[in-house]
Amino acid sequence: MIAKDNFYNVKHLYNRAGFGISYPDLEKLSHKSIDKVVEGLFKQAKRDDDIMLIDTAASRNQLLMQAGLYAKKGELSEEDKKLRQEIVRAQNEKSRDLNIAWVNKMINTDAPLREKMTLFWHGHFACRSNNPFFAQQLNNIQRENGLGSFKTLLVEVSKSPAMLQYLNNQQNRKGKPNENFARELMELFTIGRGNYTEQDIKESARSFTGWAYDKEGSFVFRKNLHDDGTKTFFGKTGNFDGESIIDIILENPKTANFISRKVYKFFVNETINEAHVKELADHFYKSRYDISALMKKMFTSDWFYDPQNLGNKIKSPAEFIVGLSREFYVTYNKPQVLIQLQSSLGQYLFNPPNVAGWPGGQSWIDSSSLMLRMRIPSLVLNDGEIDFSGKADPEDEAIIALNRSTKQKAVKSFVNATADWPKFLGTFPKDFTPLALAQFLLQPKLNDKITKLISNNKGLKSTTIEITSMPEYQLC
Amino acid sequence: MNRRNFLRNTGFVAAGSLFVPAFMKPLEAMALDELSLYKNLVVVQLSGGNDGLNTIVPFGNDIYYQKRKGISIKPEDVLKLNDMQGFNPNMAALREIYDQGWMTIINDVGYPNPDRSHFRSMDIWQTGSDSNQFLSTGWIGRYLDSNCQTCQYPYTAIEVDDSLSLALKGQSKKGIALKDPAALYRNTNDPFFKAMIQNDKEHLDEDNLGYLYKTMIETSSSASYIQNTSKIYQSKSEYPASGFANQLKTVSKFISSGLKTRVYYVSLSGFDTHVNQNQQQGNLLKQYSEGMAAFIKDLKTNNKLEDTLVITFSEFGRRVEQNASNGTDHGTANNMFVFGGRLKKQGIYNAAPNLSDLDTGDLKYQLDFRQVYGTILDKWLDVNNAEILNKKFNTLDFI
């Protein structure tokens, strides 16, 4: 492949492995070989600064207070009730702040591959926690280990208070096993349905007994709650604990296949090419579950750049919002709007529909969500008025119940965002044509209709708004 | 309109019925699809977990008063339906509807291994899954997917809202969400939007871009159809001034103007009453009942009540015992309401909740919610419920 041809390939790579690319960067990288460009992406991804929004000490303190309230018997005093309400209010506020902090991190990051991996694992290890500190912890685990060893990632996720709580391992005790975590570990996190028996679930649940977190929100192994009897799992018999169960699951190449398949669907194509997935799975397994090795293999494979894999993936709401904001250097003066956009489009980060994550692909699109997606760029770039409201998250029903007024007021608000037009337009060479702009902004190949529609356009700014309002802009 | 649909809509398609005007035939003699073309289902979702025990109050059971010292409804305030159960006083508007035989109350509807998370339990109710199963399609969506004769159009299922619930999303077909048909019509007639979909045949292949174009084209034609069919209709009925009643008014407008939509979906939220329940729930039940009463009467006036079935559900009920804040926490089984002009079993369908036989403080379910769905699918929407619910559920006798 000659270097000059790499304009479209680099653009494709940066759209899938990150959240898009600026024109000057694209120009620069187009002259390099794909292998070199991929290397650069990984080099950038070495940075992995955590989100440190939620203060550890303060959260521990809050957890202790909460535990204290729970322990009280009988009716709480007015003071205690106030305190409890205040904790819930503070948590909800912090949870929203955490969401916005991550979205902003994705918009501004210098390590796009790492944030994209975090987004992938966020959907894979889908979890809800009403404790923002736990949610932040899990997000940081997914970021730190997102390009490392899958085993480490899996163990760390399994030990995180957010997941222990979400999948009820906190209640998983010797003699009273709770199978929720053990079941999802196999069904959704590692090997997939059809590769284990109900007995395997029972035996592995016993092995995870005693994995819990303490009052301060740290993992602890409670030896007295652990069932240390003999278990038989995947045909092996022994005195297994949680980690040995994870090892046995990873020994099975089907786990490498399951993960590679999911990676393929997220980064390459919703329609699986079995040969390509097998190639990835073999490599992943041989590398002893090194996620970087898997990703490098994929990004440097010729088939990654095959025409059927270009510009044919429906952007997730997160990819769409982050991509748009990154592309136009958008500042949200009222960041709450980022949450409104996410929930209206059906992907409110940190709030997946269930432990299986967001289904993705065509399920993002129905008539209302598509109409909204096509209007959002002009709303954001032109500071338009929002005349839609997302559905309430069911977890917010309690707050709705408290603040309910009988008459629903029509919500009218503006996006209140600032796009940096001079910066965006300044990235292009003089005499840049509307057609060249479309070629840059859209991933699918231009067709006659688009060409006709914009080739007589005058300004680049109005052309930009038209292009980003096209259905083609929904693909990457 | 193509020939096939044209024929079907005239009502002359069934063999042997040729030239016999529809009004001369008894209902049973009409072909199934003739009848079903005009049958509507309206699903009303109460989000947050409505407390069923303070909605349909078991005033005849002492245990209710023992467990709910701070929030129980006094026997003299209950609008009695039989000697065991009665309406919350805020539901007075439904009394007349109930007395007319247009309402059925099904007690203790739930599912095995209930989940107490709002999100998860709502997911289970909307997808019709088992509690340890994750489906990415909704039960109405799968009905659309089933290729029934009347479900080829996206407006076969309409949600009166800004965004579409999972319940209405199928694998290949999805319902349409709209709050205001005029606004959607304006948006799809925007010159830019029009230009995008004009003469666009080249994109309509199987890939994702084709899917986007197909969705745009369908949205545009649905918006025109809905707006043009419903815009001339003026309701003469009075509705209370609430967002919920407004949604129902829109549904009534659609039904009464003859829209060929089979399923409508509306919701009312705020039922998660952990604290000081009575006032909040009272307000909501009042909104619900007044809205529903106006809606049912409106349908009756327009001769559509016979062809309409309305169901109401919530993702779970609440615990039998109140909490320390004069509220209730998340529970399990709950009552469901069915409204219509052709109910087979009117009034209270089954035994009141047994408050002395609980599952760690929660009601045990008598009926699986998928039996209710299954009954509607089999008997009202004319599809085999096993196709939609992935296994066969026994049907009930309320229709």
**Model pLDDT for residues A373-401, shown as the tens digit of each residue:** 999 998 898 876 666 665 666 666 666 66
Minimum Cα–Cα distance from A183: chain B residue: B132
pLDDT in tens, A427-462: 999 999 999 999 999 999 888 888 888 888 878 898
CA angle B306, B223, B128 (to 5 degrees): 55
The mean pLDDT of A311-338, rounded to a whole number, is 96
Facing B212 at nearest CB: one of A128, A370, A408: A370
- Cα–Cα distance between A207 and A230 in angstroms, integer? 9
* pLDDT above 50 (res B7): no
The mean pLDDT of A108-136, rounded to a whole number, is 96
**What does the CA dihedral B173, B178, B183, B186 come to, rounded to 10 degrees?**
0
B236 compared with B222, residue with greater pLDDT: B222
CB pairs under 8 A between A and B: 156
Minimum Cα–Cα distance from B216: chain A residue: A367
Query: Shortest CA distance to A440 belongs to which of A13, A23, A2, A157?
Result: A23
Query: Shortest CA distance to A45 belongs to which of A145, A125, A141, A137?
Result: A145
Q: ipTM score here?
A: 0.91
Chain center to CA of B350: 20
* Rg, C-alpha atoms of chain B: 22
What is the band of A1 on the pLDDT scale with cuts at 50, 70, 90?
A: very low
The mean pLDDT of A305-316, rounded to a whole number, is 96
Distances, alpha carbon A255 to alpha carbons A252, A284, A358, B325, B378, in Å: 6, 10, 20, 48, 41
pLDDT in tens, A204-252: 999 999 999 998 889 999 999 999 999 999 999 999 999 999 999 999 9
Residues 17-46 of A with CB under 8 A from B: none
The DSSP 8-state label assigned to residue A186 in this structure reads I
What is the band of A3 on the pLDDT scale with cuts at 50, 70, 90?
A: very low
Which tokens sit at A45? 């991804």
What is the band of A68 on the pLDDT scale with cuts at 50, 70, 90?
A: confident
pTM of the model: 0.86
Strands A417-418 and B56-57: unpaired
- Cα–Cα distance between A185 and A182 in angstroms, integer? 5
A147 compared with B231, residue with greater pLDDT: A147
Out of A51-55, A64-68, A355-359, A409-413, pick the least confident. Answer: A409-413
**What does the CA dihedral A112, A427, A447, A453 come to, rounded to 10 degrees?**
130
pLDDT the model gives residue A403: 60
Interchain contact, A356 vs B136, CB within 8 Å = yes
Interchain contact, A392 vs B269, CB within 8 Å = yes
Structural domains in chain B, CATH included, are 38-273+289-389 (3.40.720)
* Rg, C-alpha atoms of chain A: 24
pLDDT the model gives residue B33: 42
- Cα–Cα distance between A269 and A16 in angstroms, integer? 10
pLDDT the model gives residue B27: 39
pLDDT in tens, B284-327: 999 999 999 999 999 999 999 999 999 999 999 999 999 888 99
**Contacting residues for B352 by C-beta, under 8 A, at least 6 apart:** B58, B60, B61, B84, B85, B107
* pLDDT above 80 (res A147): yes
pLDDT the model gives residue A452: 87
Residues of chain B with Cβ-Cβ distance to A397 below 8 Å are: 47-49, 118, 269-272
What is the enclosing helix (H) or strand (E) of A238?
strand A236-238
- Cα–Cα distance between A72 and A75 in angstroms, integer? 8
pLDDT the model gives residue B234: 83
pLDDT the model gives residue A205: 96
| Residue B85, min C-alpha distance to chain A (Å) | 26
B194 compared with A22, residue with greater pLDDT: A22
- Cα–Cα distance between A288 and A176 in angstroms, integer? 34
pLDDT in tens, A24-48: 999 999 999 999 999 999 999 998 8
Cα-Cα-Cα-Cα dihedral sign, residues B111, B65, B326, A73: negative
CA angle B368, B372, B373 (to 5 degrees): 105
| Residue B105, min C-alpha distance to chain A (Å) | 24
pLDDT the model gives residue A470: 94
pLDDT the model gives residue B30: 39
CB-CB contact of B276 with B164 (8 Å): no
Place of tokens 């709705």: A400
* pLDDT above 50 (res B12): no
* Other residues' Cβ atoms within 10 Å of the Cβ of residue B303: 10
Assign A176 to helix, strand or coil: strand
- Cα–Cα distance between B113 and B25 in angstroms, integer? 48
For chain B, what is the mean pLDDT? 88
What is the band of A266 on the pLDDT scale with cuts at 50, 70, 90?
A: very high
Out of A255-259, A284-288, B117-121, B352-356, pick the least confident. Answer: B117-121
Interchain contact, B196 vs A475, CB within 8 Å = no
Assign B246 to helix, strand or coil: helix
CB-CB contact of B160 with B265 (8 Å): yes
- Cα–Cα distance between A190 and A154 in angstroms, integer? 9
pLDDT in tens, B73-97: 999 999 999 999 999 999 999 999 9
Query: Shortest CA distance to A335 belongs to which of A420, A415, A419, A424?
Result: A415
Distances, alpha carbon B341 to alpha carbons B253, B287, B344, in Å: 18, 22, 9
A460 compared with B4, residue with greater pLDDT: A460
pLDDT the model gives residue B289: 98
Residues 241-280 of B with CB under 8 A from A: 241-243, 267, 269-275, 280
Per the rule left: phi > 0, alpha: psi between -120 and 50, beta: everything else, B109 is beta
Assign B318 to helix, strand or coil: strand
Q: Long-range contacts for A388-391 (Cβ within 8 Å, ≥24 apart)?
A: A388/A344, A388/B162, A388/B163, A389/A340, A389/A344, A389/B162, A390/A340, A390/A343, A390/A344, A390/B162, A390/B163, A391/A343, A391/B161, A391/B162, A391/B163, A391/B165, A391/B267
Interchain contact, B324 vs A346, CB within 8 Å = no
Facing A401 at nearest CB: one of B203, B267, B270: B270
Interchain contact, A75 vs B324, CB within 8 Å = yes
In chain A, what are the domain boundaries? Answer: 1-44, 317-474
pLDDT in tens, A83-96: 888 898 999 999 99
What is the band of B28 on the pLDDT scale with cuts at 50, 70, 90?
A: very low
Facing B219 at nearest CB: one of A311, A371, A388: A371
- Cα–Cα distance between B158 and A59 in angstroms, integer? 44
Chain center to CA of A179: 26
The mean pLDDT of B179-183, rounded to a whole number, is 89
| Residue B378, min C-alpha distance to chain A (Å) | 27
Residues 400-419 of A with CB under 8 A from B: 400-402, 404, 406-408
Interchain contact, B242 vs A406, CB within 8 Å = yes
Interchain contact, B49 vs A397, CB within 8 Å = yes
* pLDDT above 80 (res B386): yes
What is the band of B36 on the pLDDT scale with cuts at 50, 70, 90?
A: very low
pLDDT the model gives residue A404: 54
Interchain contact, B48 vs A472, CB within 8 Å = no
What is the band of B201 on the pLDDT scale with cuts at 50, 70, 90?
A: low
Query: Shortest CA distance to B272 belongs to which of B318, B332, B311, B203?
Result: B318
What is the band of A285 on the pLDDT scale with cuts at 50, 70, 90?
A: very high
Per DSSP, what are the bridge partners of residue B337? B105, B312
pLDDT in tens, A151-192: 999 999 999 999 999 999 999 999 998 999 999 999 999 999
Interchain contact, B119 vs A351, CB within 8 Å = yes
pLDDT in tens, B208-217: 999 999 999 9
* Residue B58 in contact with partner chain A when CB distance is under 8 A: no
Residues of chain B with Cβ-Cβ distance to A75 below 8 Å are: 324
CB-CB contact of B335 with B109 (8 Å): yes
Cα-Cα-Cα-Cα dihedral sign, residues A470, B219, B243, A88: negative
For chain A, what is the mean pLDDT? 91
